Amino acid sequence: MNQHDAVEVITAKRDGGELSDSQIDWVIANYTSGEVADEQMSSLAMAILLNGMNRREIGRWTNAMIASGERMDFSSLSRPTADKHSTGGVGDKITLPLAPLVAACGVAVPQLSGRGLGHTGGTLDKLEAIPGWRAALSNEEMLDQLEELGAVICAAGSGLAPADKKLYALRDVTGTVEAIPLIASSIMSKKIAEGTGSLVLDVKVGTGAFMKDLEKARELASTMVELGKGAGVNTVALLTDMSTPLGFTAGNAIEVAESVEVLAGGGPADVVELTVALAREMLAGAGVTDIDPADRLTDGSAMDVWRKMIRSQDGDPDAAMPEAREKHVVNAPGSGVLTRLDAMAVGLASWRLGAGRAKQGAEVQAGAGIVWHARPGDEVTEGQPLFTLLTDESERFDRALASLEGGFDIAPTGSDEATSYSPDPLVIDRLA
């Protein structure tokens, strides 16, 4: 490998230049090994945030991160593979019903998931609310479960893109999380190394999303689609709305319960809509076009896969879910039509109640979270329950209530705001 030094690479990007392939390979390899120090990589990350990268640089950066670790291989499976990645939102429990639904249609879903940080929830935190369920599987266990059941949701092993694990933690504490080249390469290095045959990206946009601006979300989505296709992974992206939280719950155990409702053929309309839309994309990417996944929700086959999947990872799908010790109800301050429910306000409230963590490794409360009893467009009556706040520690209520202030609007019935209200589309755009 050509020899470089960290200062040379930093100054090249600081001055608006392009990094060569050998510079990128060198800096990623040497950061992973510890030869490039955290303060040097944080300086380079800030230069990338300020000056950007072209598509060649992003592609090479992604490949260098993949090369820092192992690659999984699902070619031995008897069915095609498809995966989904969400950029994170509030009430975004879609992975839970989606993986067993797609598996029930004949496509294997190797879903390597993460934990929540800040106001966005983590899939593993939600599933760990199920008594006994374990997130850590060996590669052999993962392959066996995929072959037998067609679906696995588990933690990524330490061998996948270790460079990303180091860089992700560094970005989080150096104000460089928002750099689109680094977001795209972080997500796609793990997904490509994971070895899935096709990938559907759910790129959230709106107040509760990481990307609040539609054009920036579109840029991120198109960059990731190009990276996936360049690596031979059949990749599409949906831009989906995250100004309003999904469903009626944000938390851990309560989101699992809502997901089970969807698998039972019910559940909130928006959660069902997005689950089915993503399932159709995953099936199409895997070459399965003769099955409507909506049918697998109503005939019970997706629920069968869910129950087997939970049991296979030592969970009890019939166990009573954890419940919070304390509850606080917020009543509607007036009558009319709920015209806005801000996803960020709800997400912060859930986080402050104990459903999320402020730093990596902190514990979360399985029973904590927030339930909202109306969605935008619904009529509400003064005094009726609008939110139920759940936590094990009643001292958390005040800060959670503060985050909800200004987080919703109720327009008087018959007013222009009430009569003209119409919801934004859940799926905004599709990029392929």
Instruction: Report the catalytic residues.
Output: 85, 164, 171, 186, 190
Environment class of 405 (CB within 10 Å of its CB; exposed 0-12, middle 13-18, buried 19+): exposed
Q: For every residue of 254-275, which 3-state class applies, written as one string? A: HHHHHHHHHHCCCCCHHHHHHH
CA 266 centroid distance within chain: 22
92 and 204 Cβ atoms separated by less than 8 Å: yes
Q: Is the dihedral of CA 414, 415, 416, 417 positive or negative?
A: negative
Q: For every residue of 393-432, which 3-state class applies, written as one string? A: CHHHHHHHHHHHCCCEEEECCCCHHHHCCCCCCCEEEEEC
Instruction: Tell me which amino acid residue 431 is.
Output: L
Length of the chain: 432
Q: How far apart are the first and last CA of the chain?
A: 35
Angle between helices 55-67 and 21-33 (to 10 degrees): 30
CA 125 centroid distance within chain: 12
Pairing of strands 82-86, 198-205: parallel
CA 191 centroid distance within chain: 13
